[in-house]
Amino acid sequence: MMLCCVDLCIAMKKTPCLLSLLNYYGEHIGLDPRRIPGNASVDKFAEALAKACTEYNRPRALVMVVVQPEERNMYDQHWLCAELKDRYPFNLLYSLSCLCNTHNVTTIRKTLAEIDEEGEILPDGTLLVGGQEISVVYFRAGYAPTDYPSEAEWRARLLMEQSSAVKCPSISYQLAGTKKIQQELAKPNMLERFLDNKEDIAKLRKCFAGLWSLEDSDIIKKAIERPELFVMKPQREGGGNNIYNDDVRTNLVRLQKEGTQEDAAYILMQRIFPAVSLTFLVREGICHKDHAVSELGVYGAYLRNKEKVIVNEQCGYLVRTKVSSSNEGGVAAGFAVLDSIYLN
């Protein structure tokens, strides 16, 4: 059984607060709160996790959140855990019809090292951690090489993967999110393996940026000549790892001289230049104008038990805005801020 909650970020629960502000002050500033789309990300993800517990079908089993030892994003994680335990109508746009529903799902938080120390698998595949049965393993850690500083963390990951607990995400889904898979999907005739409709394939391919391996000598030559048109990306999750501008040329030349297999750890991507707009930004009480760009991410949840698809739906969105001069866009890293959609 597998569960995937794509790009989960509970911070989007600020939308109802924004709607409340606009309901009070909207007409004074010329904004209509009805033009802000509803966003039920927490409710929807909690519902998907709860359905995974139901499919596991052991009422006393827990959801285990796998976290980093010094987790910085703990509060959005706690929000989801609270929603799983006691469902309150945080998002009135979604929850008015669900006021009486309670998931009543208990969660625990464990690091990979703690799971290695406390975890075991019973002969039937049941995963126990600290003597408690686990129905769903929800990974908020385990995506970066730094999450595996010793063999203990690798043992913990293998233990969980070998168990019958539902994984969110499954190992196959996690690997499918790597840059290398994106590069493979951009190759000619690759989408035809997954889609039959030629019009759908053409529409999807129009959304792709160029993606190439570092084995392509022609594209390497172009990137060295015009590095500002490319981004060099490692096989990593999250921001802060990409290479831009003259650093692209420097690293490509270095890899060519060294002749090692390190180039397999990267792909080249066509750099995207989004529309720029003049924006008012406030930091530490000071307002200033700057040019900014925004990125829209659409969430989804997918739950499957063998061939039976139980959940496959859109679950809200996230908008991030950053100054256009910044190459990075992470919110937690301090490069961007959470924003909202306002429909014209």
Domain range 183-270, its CATH number among 3.30.1490.50, 1.10.3720.10, 3.40.710.10, 3.40.50.10800: 3.30.1490.50
Residue 235 assigned as binding residue: yes
Which value, in Å, is the radius of gyration of the alpha carbons in the chain? 22
Residue 193 assigned as binding residue: no
- Give one DSSP letter per residue of 117-161, joined into a string: HHEEE-TTS-EEETTEEEEEEEESS-SSGGG--SHHHHHHHHHHH
Residue 203 assigned as binding residue: no
Residue 236 assigned as binding residue: yes
Q: How far is the C-alpha of 176 from the C-alpha of 205, rounded, in Å?
A: 18
Residue 237 assigned as binding residue: yes
The structure tokens 């060295």 sit at 224
Rounded to a whole number, what is the distance in angstroms from the first to the last CA of the chain? Answer: 41
Residue 210 assigned as binding residue: no
Residue 242 assigned as binding residue: yes
Residue 261 assigned as binding residue: no
* Residue 273 CA: distances (Å) to CA of 171, 221, 229, 234, 270: 33, 21, 9, 20, 10
Name the residue type at position 127: L
How does DSSP classify residue 243?
B
Residue 320 assigned as binding residue: yes
Residue 241 assigned as binding residue: yes
Residue 302 assigned as binding residue: no
pLDDT tens by residue, 263-298 = 888 999 999 998 999 988 887 888 889 999 999 999
pLDDT tens by residue, 53-106 = 999 999 899 999 999 998 887 888 888 999 998 754 444 444 444 444 578 999
pLDDT of residue 12: 38
The architecture in CATH of the region 8-177 reads 3-Layer(aba) Sandwich (3.40)
Name the residue type at position 269: M
Q: How far is the C-alpha of 26 from the C-alpha of 10, rounded, in Å?
A: 25
Residue 269 assigned as binding residue: yes
Sequence spans of domains, the chain = 8-177, 183-270
pLDDT tens by residue, 101-139 = 578 999 999 999 999 999 999 999 999 999 999 999 999
